[in-house]
Amino acid sequence: MKRLPLVSLLLLVAGCAAAAPRASAPAVELHGHRFSTEFATDDASRERGLMMRTDLAADHSMLFVFPDSEPRWFWMKNTLIPLDILYFDDGRKLVSMQLDVPPCKADPCPSYPSDAPARYVLELPAGTARRIGVQAGDELTVEGDIGTVH
């Protein structure tokens, strides 16, 4: 009986690995536009948010996920880039927006509240919501495993 050469065996294993389904990177879709995203699902990651970052790619976002729906407010302490802050209810419908929020340059920093209870908050580079035509009631689609929220 002939043995398969090692190279053939490696190619066979590599082909099987390539055919296996891969988990997609976390992303959100809003108003027909897709953004890669980072999830902030616990107190520490929600508190840190996008602090100390000097840029945010045009196709990137951060999704804050809370365990409940209630009025929310965000501030920009140690956030170095301007943002659009979008608030979504339990059904992931857009209920409030704070657009073109500037970095905080004085202490205390102002806060930017939601106009209604929210469970999800999406941060995008400033100007994105206007550019893509986001409107109240738009639905946020989330791709990827949010995991445990606490």
User: Which one, of 51, 76, 65, lies nearest residue 144 by Cα?
Assistant: 65
The predicted pLDDT at position 147 comes to 80
H/E element, 24 = none
Distance (Å, whole) CA 126 – CA 46: 19
Structural domain boundaries in the chain: 23-141
Give the angle subtended at the CA of 43 by the CAs of 42 and 48, to the nearest 5°: 105
pLDDT value at residue 148: 81
Architecture in CATH of 23-141: Sandwich (2.60)
Residue 146: predicted pLDDT: 86
pLDDT of residue 143: 95
pLDDT on residue 121: 98
Buried b (16+ CB within 10 A) or exposed e, 58-69: eebbbbbbbeeb
Tokens of 99: 């657009």
Q: What is the pLDDT along the chain (150 residues), one digit of tens a residue?
A: 445 444 443 344 444 444 444 456 899 999 999 999 999 999 999 999 999 999 999 999 999 999 999 999 999 999 999 999 999 999 999 999 999 999 998 889 999 999 999 999 999 999 999 999 999 999 999 998 888 888
